[in-house]
Amino acid sequence: MARRTTLDDAEVRAPVAEDLFEPPDWAIARGRSRASLRMAAIGVRRTWPLLIAVSLGMLAAVTLICTAPVYTALSSEVQLQHTLAAQSSTDINTEALVTSFAVSKDNASAIGQRMDGLAQTYYSSFAPTSTSYVTGTQPMLMPEINGKDSGSLLIPGAQATIFGYDLAQAGPHMKLFAGRLPQETPAGQPPEALITTKMPNVHVGDTIKLVMFGGHDQSTVVKVVGVWYPKDESDPFWNGRSFDTIIADAVNPPPPVYPIVFSKSTFVSALTFAPQAPNERPLGMALHYVYFTDPQRVTASTIDTTIAQIKAFRSHLNGDLPGSSGVFTVSLGTKLDAILGDLQRQFSLLSLPLYVIVAQVVGLALLFVVAMAGLLIEGQSAEIATLKSRGASGTQLLMSYTLQGVLLAALAALLGPILAAALSQTLVTAFIPSTAKLVNSQYLARAVASQSVWLPALLGALLSVLALVIAALRSARLDVLAFRREQGRGGQVPFWRRYYLDVALAVLCALGYLELGQFGGLNIREQLGTTDAQTGPDPLLLAAPALLLLAGALLTLRLFPLGAAIGARLAAWGRGATGMLAFSQVSRVSSAFGRLTLLLTLSVGVGLFALNYQASLGRNVADRAAYVAGADELIAVGTGAQPEAKMNQRLAAMPGVQGMTPVFRSQAGSADDPGAIVGTLAIDPATFAGISNWRDDYATQPLDALMREMAAHSQGKSAGDSDHPIWTLVDSTFANTYHLRPGDRFQRTPTECPAPLNFVVGAIVTQFPTVYDTFPDGYMIVPINDFFTAIVTPAIGGGSGQQPNEYWLRTTADTNAAAARTKALGDAALAVTSVTSRRALQTQYQQDPLTAGMTGLLLIGALTAAALAILGAIAQSALTARQRTQQFAILRTLGMSGGQLVRMLLSEQTIVYCFGLLGGTALGLALSSATLPYLQFSSSITNPDQANIPAYLFVFNTPGAMLFYGALAVAFLLSLLLAARVAATVGLGRTLRLGED
């Protein structure tokens, strides 16, 4: 009989076969990995629409993160080339001048070798070509021509400046009118030379005797073999060297100086004038070395190196050459290092708005990734909870979604830099067409391959994966029971809400803007000189707008459940349960709707900020041009202009001129403080208001009222004396410096008047067109008739008659009339020295590479914000409706009709959309009004001559906002229709099956 096995026997029985072959740990790990891979593959197959949305968010984040360095480098490059192209060749080229005590072939050779070595070391990278020539250190006399006195052929006292050029280099830039180029001559033969067409009565074959000043025994005879003149006097080869002969009028004229050109080798070997007496000096030589800068070799990334090379070249030039080879002075003439330094500072300042925009849109893209990842995980929350309850480990679930995220992030990291380069190229070529040659495929390939692009790409991909992992961790914690509880009652109060982190962020944001108001704005930073080209964007300017966005969005989320609860109470008073159920659901499960609310709030806020920034930028570019020009056109005239009445008549008759006002620009000093100089602008109050460009914030009173008051206080023939002070507008700087208020009197001495005049403060203005901070003590605006009367009144001290030196015109926009007017203003009788056109300036400012490029970037920012909001709304609506099919089915069984179910769902979505739109609009307006004053994006802030440009105004972009909200409304309508379709097709049988878990 078989013995029954007891519990004790079971405990001590021998191990069975399956116990002896338990798999090792590595095999278990491999099995779990394979399971994770299978789960990931199944998840991809089932949730590919949401994975596409997540991948788009990742790609947008990575692309925008990469756009910042690519676009910054590209816009800086464009601005650099734009600036260098606008400079004269003499400013960007370098001319080194080395003077030696005597003309010496050996010294010239030694100096040349030393200069070639320095140029090869420091200049070859950006100035590969060069030329050199030599001049005498003093002019020469020409007492004889052809052995006879030159007085009958040349103006008495005529002098010559002698040059020695490498004619092989210079020949292609010279135009020979007669003869040939000089050649080497045997010893004892006169050296050959060229003269210009400006030397009269001297011809090819003539000889000229050259004699040194103070050493008449030091002379030589040269033979003229050719007559020449530069093909183009503005040719960069001549580097500003003029070969013209200027002969003054007959009243005390200086002696004319004629250029005579030799070959360089003849100059240093044949023109060695030896002193004949102990106190005589030999003719010295000045060696000129010109290095031609190739703008294409100067890039934004090499600005630091180029400036350092110029500095090192200057240092070695000053330290090594003096005292050797007869050298007694050296100098280096170039503005290239100063131009590059200004550009470098400008890049540092003006990159701030770029980074602010990119930082906001990148943050929005990452939030979109978090939102879509959350939707992705929530869409499978039931499956996750079931798998969790049936033994699936949290590690397996986490690895499954991490693998999906890594794959998507890797794809985004690969495509992001390429799309960033394409986006940057599109922006630059679309808004700055003149730069198409610069933005070629080779340049973009170098930009994409740069470490500064791939590191941000990897960072964006890592942040995207992290967002997906965080969402997966939260759902992986829930089993079936916890999932049902979470779905029915909503989650716990978020960490940030429990500890009032949103309020703390709001306080920190306020402190940040307070700090910006003192030291952070672009104008303040530029004025204080606190911007270093190496510091990059100011962290405070980057952090403050981001803090405002985050704090505002979180405060909106804090108010969201409260608003929904209030709505539910109000809906309870109405008829039907649809509205009350909608508000109750939103209030009870606010976390599920909060994600979309947060995304919509930030999307609308960022989009509205970008649109307002774009409108404000355009408005303030126009304001800047209007301020610089003063009117439609500012005509400056010099001495010798026709009388005022004749000028008025001629200008008024020109094509397109609709009005005109005379202006006299001068300055005045103080007898008590000779250094206190104030600017003076004399205007005609009768015509000024109708011609000038004026903005209401320039003064507390309208311009018409100020001009009427100025005209009413005309003092006539007694203007300027103690009993009849001139009624004057003064700026706030002048008033604050001298503690003046309206009605106070003061004295100033205009440049045109030897005695002080009396003035009275009529009103104080903050700004006035065409007047800048050139005068530290401010400026004053006076009536032109009283001012002219005062400075010519004998009792005051007398003076010469004056007439306006500027005429401000109001003109039509007709281009043909403008061309005809430009031609008419070229009449010498008008003595026009400059013409400043408001329309031309506005076009120039709008086409400025940095300004035009920023306009494109703002447009991309607004479009990205709208696209993310639309995509998020549609995805959220579709998934939310599908996730709640069981709830809808239960409501149907309780008696709710299909129409009521659809209305409830649409009401929930409408509540979220309205809350997001309202919160985003308020946030966008707050962000725009608080941030734009610190982002005065204009290259003019780096121009010290125009430091007092008008303050930027906040402009609401009404047309752009209407399009933006219209696109959102259409998208919301589509998402509502999609959600309604899902709710209307809920099937009770399929939804309420038992045993699904």
Helix axes 480-489, 381-389, angle to 10 degrees: 150
Q: How many residues in total does the chain contain?
A: 997
The half-sphere exposure of 560 on its side-chain side, counting CA atoms within 13 A, is 36
pLDDT tens-digit profile of 178-199?
999 999 888 888 999 999 988 8
Residue 493: the pLDDT is 63
Please tell me which residue, 591 or 772, carries the higher pLDDT value: 772
Residues in a beta bridge with 133 = 165, 288
State how far the alpha carbon of 638 is from the alpha carbons of 442, 787, 830, in Å: 50, 19, 9
Cα separation of 517 and 509, whole Å?
12
Tell whether the model's pLDDT for residue 987 goes beyond 90.
no
The token duo for 316 is 């070695």
- Count other Cβ atoms within 10 Å, centred on residue 797: 16
Please tell me which residue, 883 or 239, carries the higher pLDDT value: 239
Q: Helix, strand, coil % (nearest 5) of the chain?
A: 60, 15, 25
Residue 488: the pLDDT is 52
| Cβ(660)–Cβ(778) below 8 Å | no
| Cβ(255)–Cβ(58) below 8 Å | no
> Which range scores top for mean pLDDT: 61-70, 87-96, 866-875?
87-96
Q: How does DSSP classify residue 681?
A: E
| Cβ(247)–Cβ(253) below 8 Å | yes
At residue 176, the 3 state secondary structure works out as strand
Tell whether the model's pLDDT for residue 536 goes beyond 70.
no
Residue 7: the pLDDT is 40
Tell whether the model's pLDDT for residue 523 goes beyond 60.
no
Residue 994: the pLDDT is 41
Please tell me which residue, 246 or 872, carries the higher pLDDT value: 872
Please tell me which residue, 782 or 548, carries the higher pLDDT value: 782
At residue 102, the 3 state secondary structure works out as coil
- Count other Cβ atoms within 10 Å, centred on residue 789: 20
Q: Mean pLDDT lowest for which of 786-790, 882-886, 988-992? A: 988-992
**Residue 752 φ/ψ, nearest 5 degrees:** -85, 0
Residues in a beta bridge with 831 = none
Q: Mean pLDDT lowest for which of 46-60, 515-529, 859-873, 941-955? A: 515-529
Q: Mean pLDDT lowest for which of 377-386, 404-413, 833-842? A: 377-386
Cα separation of 900 and 912, whole Å?
19
DSSP assignment of 586-597 equals HHHTHHHHHHHH
Residue labelled with tokens 């979604």: 401
Residues in a beta bridge with 258 = 160
Cα separation of 794 and 909, whole Å?
84
pLDDT tens-digit profile of 776-823?
788 999 999 999 988 875 433 334 467 899 999 999 998 899 999 988
> Which range scores top for mean pLDDT: 199-208, 254-263, 360-369, 674-683?
199-208
Tell whether the model's pLDDT for residue 350 goes beyond 70.
no
Percentage of residues in the chain having pLDDT higher than 70: 71
What average pLDDT does this structure show over 883-899?
A: 66
Buried/exposed 728-760: b ≥16 CB within 10 Å, e otherwise: bbbbebbbeebebeeeeebbbbbebbebbbbbb
In the chain, count H helices and then E strands. Answer: 33, 21
Cα separation of 46 and 382, whole Å?
14
What average pLDDT does this structure show over 954-971?
A: 87
β pairing state of 207-212 and 140-145: antiparallel
C-alpha torsion 673→677→678→684, nearest 10? 110
Triad 206, 212, 213: Cα angle to 5°: 130
Residue 352: the pLDDT is 66
DSSP assignment of 32-95 equals HHHHHHHHHHHHHHHSHHHHHHHHHHHHHHHHHHHHHHHHHHHHHHHHHHHHHHHS-HHHHSEE
What average pLDDT does this structure show over 915-943?
A: 73
Element (H, E) at 357: helix 336-379
Tell whether the model's pLDDT for residue 563 goes beyond 80.
no
The token duo for 338 is 């100063």
Residue 728: the pLDDT is 95
Residue 527: pLDDT band by 50, 70, 90 thresholds?
very low
Please tell me which residue, 768 or 563, carries the higher pLDDT value: 768
pLDDT tens-digit profile of 407-433?
778 888 888 887 877 777 777 777 766
| Cβ(526)–Cβ(941) below 8 Å | yes
Buried/exposed 112-150: b ≥16 CB within 10 Å, e otherwise: bebbeebbeebbeebbeebbbbbbbbebbbbbbbeeeeb
| Cβ(853)–Cβ(352) below 8 Å | no
| Cβ(94)–Cβ(127) below 8 Å | yes
Cα separation of 448 and 417, whole Å?
6
> Which range scores top for mean pLDDT: 436-450, 569-583, 774-788, 884-898?
774-788
Please tell me which residue, 160 or 390, carries the higher pLDDT value: 160
Residue 410: the pLDDT is 83
Average pLDDT, the chain: 77
Residue 132: pLDDT band by 50, 70, 90 thresholds?
very high
Residue 351: the pLDDT is 66
| Cβ(661)–Cβ(691) below 8 Å | yes
Tell whether the model's pLDDT for residue 634 goes beyond 70.
yes
Tell whether the model's pLDDT for residue 294 goes beyond 80.
yes
| Cβ(54)–Cβ(468) below 8 Å | yes
What average pLDDT does this structure show over 514-540?
A: 50
What average pLDDT does this structure show over 345-362?
A: 71
Residue 867: the pLDDT is 80
Tell whether the model's pLDDT for residue 270 goes beyond 70.
yes
Cα separation of 332 and 320, whole Å?
14
Residue 521: the pLDDT is 52
What average pLDDT does this structure show over 432-440?
A: 60
Residue 494: the pLDDT is 65
At residue 373, the 3 state secondary structure works out as helix
pLDDT tens-digit profile of 306-328?
999 999 999 999 888 888 888 88
Tell whether the model's pLDDT for residue 234 goes beyond 80.
yes
